[in-house]
Structure 1
Amino acid sequence: MSRRSKQAAPLPGAARPAVTVCRGCCCGPAAKVPRLDHEAQLADLRTSLAGVAMVRRVDCLDACERANVIVIQPSAEGRRAGGRPIWLGQVNDPGAVAEISAWVTNGGPGLADPPDILGLYTFSPSRRVRHELDD
């Protein structure tokens, strides 16, 4: 039997935002982006978004030319409000994690306007790549 309180557990059906972090062939190794601690970036996202969003690591999002790639998917409420996944590329500045975390904590896509600085990272992947993430 779990000792977790019912308040600490997510409510049934309460879908949180999801933050998908690419850590495949191009987005994870220091050879491509040597000045960034890739594992620290992922750890910072997981720590700052604990209980707020699901942070998951994937092998490849097939947008290698834009390493490091992070996708912010809206919560169920955010999607109902019109939010759609936001693709961020070249997220190689340690300060970007703080901006992403603050935005997702405030609601993320559909519920809060992204910080202006994230406009520098936003891109639209091909339909095929978008479709693969939705599966």
Structure 2
Amino acid sequence: MTVCRDCCCGSIGKHPSVDHDAQLTALRATLEPDHRVRTSLCLDVCDQSNVVVVQPAPAARRDGARPVWFGLVLDDAVLGDLTAWVHAGGPGVAPVPPILELSVISPPAS
């Protein structure tokens, strides 16, 4: 899982009611060590901050699964749904739950 933490994502100025550090801590506590949680610089979809990208497991990637991008990840309920989906297998293994479909965004154009 890649969590954007740059100009807009993780910004107290843009999202003052979100505890961004607590989000990252919760993701790591829930997913690691079985799943890696890393941060990145700007993922270039600032209008959808906070952005999280869930990578498929290597076997699922070999079978054609691709990363799934989520935007507006601003509350604990979405984080909980994301971590449950990752534990269920994530991209290429488990379907995106309908509630998470509301947060799926397109990656930036290359």
Asked if the contact 1:70/1:88 (under 8 Å) is kept, the reply is: yes
Unaligned runs of 5+ in 2: none
Match of 2:57 among 69, 72, 75: 75
1:31 aligns to what?
13
Q: State the superposition RMSD in angstroms.
A: 1.1
Cα-to-partner distance string for 1:31-69 (whole Å, 9 max, x where unaligned)? 101111001001111110012211001121111111100
Moved over 6 A (4+): none
1:104 aligns with 2:86: yes
Q: Give the letter aligned to residue 36 of structure 1.
A: V
1:5 aligns to what?
none
Cα-to-partner distance string for 1:3-25 (whole Å, 9 max, x where unaligned)? xxxxxxxxxxxxxxxx0000101
1:10 aligns to what?
none
Q: Give the letter aligned to residue 116 of structure 1.
A: P
Equivalent residues, number: 110
**1:115 Cα offset (Å):** 1.6
Matched residue of 1:68: which SS?
A: coil
Identity over aligned pairs, percent: 47
Q: Give the letter aligned to residue 63 of structure 2.
A: A
Asked if the contact 1:72/1:109 (under 8 Å) is kept, the reply is: yes
**1:114 Cα offset (Å):** 1.7
1:122 aligns to what?
104
1:44 aligns with 2:33: no
TM-score, length of structure 2 as denominator length: 0.94
Unaligned runs of 5+ in 1: 1-18, 129-135
**1:82 Cα offset (Å):** 2.9
